[in-house]
Structure 1
Amino acid sequence: MTTTAIATPTLDDRITGALLGAAVGDALGGPVEGYSPEQITERHGGRVRGIVGPWNGDAWRTARPIAPYHKGDGHITDDTLMTHALIRVYATVRDHLDAHAIAAHLVPDLMSNPRWIPELEAYALPLQRIFLAEKWLVTRLHYGHHDPREAGSGNIVNCGAAMYMAPVGLVNAAHPEAAYAEALDIAGAHQSSYGREAAGVFAAAVAAACRPGATPESVVESALALAKDGTRAAIEAVAGVAAHHKDTESALAPLRAAVAPFDTVGPDYRAPSPAARRPSRVHSIEELPIALGMLLAGGGDYRRTVLGSVNYGRDCDSIATMAGAMAGALHGEPAIPRAWAKTVSEASRLDLHAPARELAAVAREVFARDTDRRRAHETAYALLTADAR
């Protein structure tokens, strides 16, 4: 049962809503990742309406192409693992982050500290679970000793950096421009081209969703105000289509058609085109524009937005992660169905509220630091311009 969202969520509630919403969306999308809406409907006898089991049932340990990961049954995936890892960096640095902080703190954490990995049903190093595009961080920064600001160059261009950038938007709550700039710096260690751009725009969208009175439309407007090149064009195209739909079900095929010209993967998600995931100024990742489109078509309602993202298929765990973060930031924790949140927390054996509490404390500290820095600048500027008055 969904609890009615509170009228004016506080900062703490928006942070909890965004992070909990992202984790729940991730867990819902995981078991149907990589499949089409038609395949999802055939497998589940209709659209997915909640938490479902593995695509291949009890054969998940060996069934390709997912083995050996237990996707489904409320298990979060690498999207949430990376989000929580970034929060731990914030908890250590307790200030704004940059690419060097990723090299100094995130990479050692992935390599050295065993965590409970729900999909493996075991304690393991996060490095043993994350995808190859995320292993790139370790390869380039730890073994290759590349400049952190440029280490993302050469990686496949995908949503790998964008998928865990919600904390950046939350630390910069209500300040999309600052979130965009910080996420671009952080993502330079991981991604390049439109993959890096998407990380900045997603962080900005989450920050915009934290503004009092924010709506799905204002979130998209903030994203468009900052997005560049193919990312901007893709969001504009998808948003234009989404505006004509009042439900996510009718929007599934039109949204895919709108983003297709900008997506390099092609129609078969499991068999990417030869041009897939290469740097470009005219292309975009698929996940962020679709997440924003679902936010619009779903009217910002968490359940509708996330289920639309899940039933879209393809990389739907990342789409639902992003959409869930934005919807959760708009409305706060009460918007997240309690039954879903409880099941995901228990099944994943994770306290999903603890990272939110930690990040909320960090966000307050960073704001205080920013205020002091701004006042110091104002004082210095006043002295510099005293003669002009």
Structure 2
Amino acid sequence: MTSVACVPSVPAPEDAPDLRERARGALLGLAVGDALGAPAENLKPSEIRARWGRITGFVVDDPAGTDDTEYAIFSGLLLARHGSALTAAHVEAAWHALIADRAEGPFRGAGFSERGTLENLRRGLAAPISAQHRHAWSDGLAMRAAPFGVFAAGRPTEAARLVAVDGAVSHEGEGIYGGQAVAAGVAAAMAGAPTVAVVASALAVVPDDSWTARSLRRAVAVAHRGERAVRSAVVIGGYPWTDLAPEAVALAFGAYAAADGDFRAAVLTAVNMGRDADTTAAVAGALAGATRGVGAIPAEWAAAVGPARGSCLPAMAGHHVLEVADLLTAREDPVRDGDRAPHGGPAARLEPVPADLPRGDARPPADPAAYVLTAPEDEVQP
């Protein structure tokens, strides 16, 4: 692991956004970045310039989130129900009940990792074997990782542990590391950490010699030179797949670092780099939204994000990312030494990052039934 023995707590200025505003910023920022980046997905910067010049806002009349937003809602609602007691069995059961065991219907736009996972689950394979497919290294976990950082505000190690539990159903190796880096980074940003500490927290939870860590270090090292330098440092020329986690996560953190946490600049930098632009912009938006709070998101962008349409996950139709943010910050969860306290709160602080990731005790939440992840009765398949 990266040798970060302790990332110091950062005293919050009087006008700093409170935890709820940071949570809303993180998840609304994810959805805004997703919608802004969707038209540029899989394009090169030259192709983006040829179509739109430099993208500075929505380039379609009816912007909407993609699978990135809907899977983040899916994982966020599951986390709100189970908290730190989340297990791979909970995640697997939810995938079966709300995705795999239903008539597929309008399930469109999901990445290869989700398709491979569903094929394995439908064949009767359980986690972690369900994650053994050709795209287990994709950014499909990274795109849904932000809720874990929101939930574990100031606790990047716990955020990384929990997102790995979620990812055990669908990802392995670099796919898990990408999700852990994003979750830890958001957790640090939720506590008011500066950009450099957010990046350090992300690096501290993944193996130092991993592809994810190497790519992330390269991206942030040249971030001061702008998006072209970030892209050149990370992207493998000629490689056909744009959804590999080490690349997408590094591009997102590079955009965030280049903008020094500014929301508009971070998201637009990610969008204009192309590749898996919806995911990179979603991750950059989550990091910057957690850093600056929901008030930093331009009003016209925020207003364009409505409830999920269910275009990828029909069971998520009608849920809004702000609903998930409020559930995750309102929920009570066990904390160190067995004490109970409202999760987060204005005094959330960034914990030291240890050299490993102990799983710890997973004690049951105060009221597991308070948060229920279900589909409408008429949509559940027998």
In the TM superposition, structure 1's runs of 4+ consecutive aligned residues that sit over 6 Å from their partners are none
Pair 87,346 (structure 1): closer, same or farther in 2 beyond 3 Å = closer
| Letter aligned with residue 181 of structure 2 | V
Structure 1 CA distance for aligned equivalents of residues 160 and 287 of structure 2: 15
Aligned equivalent of 1:148, options 106, 119, 127: 127
- Name the amino acid aligned to 1:93: H
- 1:79, distance to aligned residue in structure 2 (A): 0.2
CA–CA separation in structure 2 for the residues paired with 1:134 and 1:219: 28
Q: 2:55 aligns with which of 48, 54, 64?
A: 48
CA distance in 1, matches of 2:161, 2:307: 36
- Judge conservation of contact 2:308–2:320 (CA < 8 Å) in 1: no
**Equivalent residues of 2:73, 2:321 under 8 A apart:** no
The amino acid of 1:48's aligned partner reads I
1:340 corresponds in structure 2 to 301
Distance 1:272 1:19, change over 3 A: closer
Counterpart in 2 of 1:252?
A: 227
* 1:217 Cα deviation from its structure 2 partner: 1.1
Distance 1:93 1:52 in 2: 38
The equivalent of 1:281 in structure 2 is none
Are residues 1:303 and 2:278 paired?
A: no
In structure 2, do the counterparts of structure 1 residues 335 and 175 end up closer, same or farther at CA, with 3 Å as the change threshold? same
Correspondence for 2:168: 188
2:101 and 2:180 map into 1 onto residues whose CA distance is 28
Distance 1:94 1:223, change over 3 A: closer
Alignment of 1:162-241 (within 5 A): 162-212=142-192, 214-228=193-207, 229-241=210-222
Identity of aligned residues (%): 32
The equivalent residue for 1:319 is: 280
Q: Distance in 2 between matches of 1:145 and 1:295?
A: 40
**Residue 27 of structure 1: aligned partner:** 35
**Structure 1 residues 234 and 105: CA distance shift in structure 2, 3 A:** same
Q: Distance in 2 between matches of 1:85 and 1:52?
A: 27
Please give the per-residue CA displacement for 1:308-347, whole angstroms capped at 9, x wherever unaligned.
Answer: 0000001010000000000000111101111111123289
- Give the conservation status (yes or no) of the 8 Å contact 2:92–2:126: no
Q: Which runs of 5+ in 1 are unaligned?
A: 54-71, 115-123, 246-250, 261-265, 278-283, 379-389
Larger Rg: 1
Q: Deviations over 1:180-228 (max 9, x none)?
A: 122122212111121111111111111011113x111110111122221
Asked whether 1:373 is paired with 2:334, we answer: no
Gaps of at least 5 residues in structure 2 are 1-12, 310-317, 341-359, 362-382
* Contact kept in structure 1, 2:70 and 2:308, CA below 8 Å: no
**Amino acid of the structure 1 residue aligned with 2:216:** I
Equivalent position of 1:105 in the other structure:
94
User: Matched residues in 2 for 1:340 and 1:137: separation?
Assistant: 33
SS at 2:305's partner residue?
Answer: helix
Instruction: Work out the CA distance in 1 between the residues paired with 2:278 and 2:196.
Output: 23
More RCO (CA 8 Å, sep 6+)? 2
Task: Give how far 1:101 is off.
Answer: 1.5
Question: Is 1:38–2:46 an aligned residue pair?
Answer: yes
Q: Deviations over 1:150-200 (max 9, x none)?
A: 421224121011110111111111011111122122212111121111111
In the TM superposition, what is the alpha-carbon distance from 1:145 to its structure 2 partner? 2.9
- The structure in which a higher percent of residues are helix is 1
Residue 360 (1) aligns with residue 329 (2):
yes
AA of the residue aligned to 1:226: V
Q: CA deviation at 1:22?
A: 0.3
Displacement of 1:239 in angstroms is 1.0
The one-letter amino acid paired with 2:29 is G
